[in-house]
């Protein structure tokens, strides 16, 4: 599924499409809706870069075995492993 962000929204927020995707990724991760692997992929960042982004906002990284397994499934589905 693809989500289109209208130019009017980008202009209103004074953000780029990449910044909006990062904000969405942070929000979904913070609300435990997606794993850190999924969030970093959505944000277009490596996991390390995404962790630095979270740290800069003082958002704790929570990563357990279930999330690790979910990340492995996601990577397999994406053909990365």
Pick the closest to residue 28 from 80, 78, 20, 12 (CA basis): 20
Q: Is residue 9 part of a domain?
A: no
Rounded CA-CA distance 56/73 in Å is: 28
Q: Is residue 43 part of a domain?
A: yes
Instruction: Report the number of distinct structural domains present in the chain.
Output: 1
Q: Is residue 7 part of a domain?
A: no
Q: Is residue 44 part of a domain?
A: yes
Rounded CA-CA distance 71/80 in Å is: 11
Element (H, E) at 68: helix 65-77
Q: Is residue 3 part of a domain?
A: no
Rounded CA-CA distance 22/43 in Å is: 4
Average pLDDT over residues 36-57: 93
pLDDT at position 16: 93
Task: Kindly report, residue by residue over 2-40, the tens digit of the pLDDT.
Answer: 888 899 999 999 999 999 999 999 999 999 899 888 999
Q: What is the span of the domain harbouring residue 61?
A: 15-77
Instruction: Judge whether residue 63 has pLDDT over 80.
Output: no
Q: Is residue 47 part of a domain?
A: yes
């Amino acid at each position: 599924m693809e989500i289109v962000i209208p130019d009017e929204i980008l202009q209103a927020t004074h953000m780029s499409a990449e910044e909006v995707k990062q904000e969405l990724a942070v929000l979904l991760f913070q609300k435990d809706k997606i794993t850190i692997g999924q969030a970093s992929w959505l944000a277009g960042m490596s996991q390390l870069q995404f962790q630095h982004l979270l740290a800069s906002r003082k958002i704790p990284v929570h990563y357990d075995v279930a999330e690790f397994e979910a990340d492995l499934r996601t990577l397999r589905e994406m053909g990365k492993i």
